[in-house]
Amino acid sequence: MNAFNEIIEKIKDVISNESDTGKVFDKDVAAELNISQATFATMKKRGAVPYKELLEFCARRKLSINWLFFDQSAGMLVEETEKFFRVKYFSSVRASAGGGADNIDENYEEITIDRKIIGSFFPKISNDDIHTKNIEAIHVDGESMEPTLKNGSIVFVDREKNIICKDGIFIVSTPGGLFIKRLNRKVDGSIELISDNKLYSPEVLAPDEVQILGKVVGGVERL
């Protein structure tokens, strides 16, 4: 896997054609990734890879993230598809941990990701299980699921899992919008939406007001 400094050089190559002089600096990469120069300098020094921003960069530029991380060409992706995983990335969708957000629509980018990367997000899931999953990526908006999920994080959602379980966090569609919450089915059949942040009170909805869209199976914090 390429080190952060190698990834920076690849990004510079991509955006150098847009420079009048052909010269690209770290500040230009920081701007491309929507990271402040100070934060970018700190991340570079620590070798802290900004996964969320790199995912968005590849989606905007129609690039394979495998090329960025592993020097693997698009042709190689076609020839060795069993080594890769495709994720629908809804860059404009926010699953609200506070107030209701918009529902998932059809506006998404499809990102091809090496299964080693996906495996690092889901250490308890075997490669064979990952290969069969219908996993999508969306953002967390709000603080009500902190400290478990940070505001601005990307979460990976298994759309095949819509059964309420004790330790699960789910994406649900409600009349108030899209939420990311723990769920509890009460004796009367109503569904309780529970926040990890104790400053937020649970909300109880009728069963027909809650559509479970999937279970959160992993995530990446905004660095």
Q: How far is the C-alpha of 63 from the C-alpha of 182, rounded, in Å?
A: 35
Most confident of 94-103, 141-150, 198-207: 198-207
What single DSSP character describes residue 170?
A: E
The pLDDT tens digits for 33-73 are: 999 999 999 988 888 888 888 888 888 887 877 788 877 66
Distances (CA, A) of 111 to 64, 69, 88, 158, 176: 7, 13, 6, 16, 29
- Would you state the pLDDT for residue 222? 47
Over the chain, what is the mean pLDDT? 79
Tell which CATH classification among 2.60.40.3680, 3.40.50.720, 3.40.830.10, 2.10.109.10 matches the domain 80-223. 2.10.109.10
Helix (H, G, I), strand (E, B) or coil at 31: helix
Q: Is the pLDDT of residue 128 over 50?
A: yes
Q: Indicate whether this model's pTM tops 0.75.
A: no
Give the confidence band of 30 by pLDDT, cuts at 50, 70, 90: very high
User: Residue holding tokens 């920081």?
Assistant: 30
- Would you state the pLDDT for residue 185? 93
- Would you state the pLDDT for residue 104? 58
- Would you state the pLDDT for residue 221? 58
Distances (CA, A) of 177 to 44, 101, 102, 180: 38, 5, 5, 10
- Would you state the pLDDT for residue 154? 81
Domain coordinates of the chain in residue numbers? 1-69, 80-223
Distances (CA, A) of 161 to 36, 48, 89, 132, 169: 37, 32, 18, 12, 11
More confident residue, 219 or 58: 58
- Would you state the pLDDT for residue 70? 77
- Residue 206 is which amino acid? A
The pLDDT tens digits for 72-111 are: 665 544 444 556 667 776 765 555 555 444 455 556 667 6
- Would you state the pLDDT for residue 68? 82
Measured over the CA atoms of residue 30, residue 33, residue 35 and residue 40, the dihedral's sign is negative
C-alpha gyration radius of the chain: 19
Give the confidence band of 192 by pLDDT, cuts at 50, 70, 90: very high
Give the confidence band of 163 by pLDDT, cuts at 50, 70, 90: confident
- Would you state the pLDDT for residue 125? 62
Strand partners, 170: 181, 215
> Under a CB-based contact definition with an 8 Å cutoff, are residues 176 and 102 in contact?
no
More confident residue, 119 or 101: 119
- Would you state the pLDDT for residue 119? 66
Rounded mean pLDDT of 141-162? 85
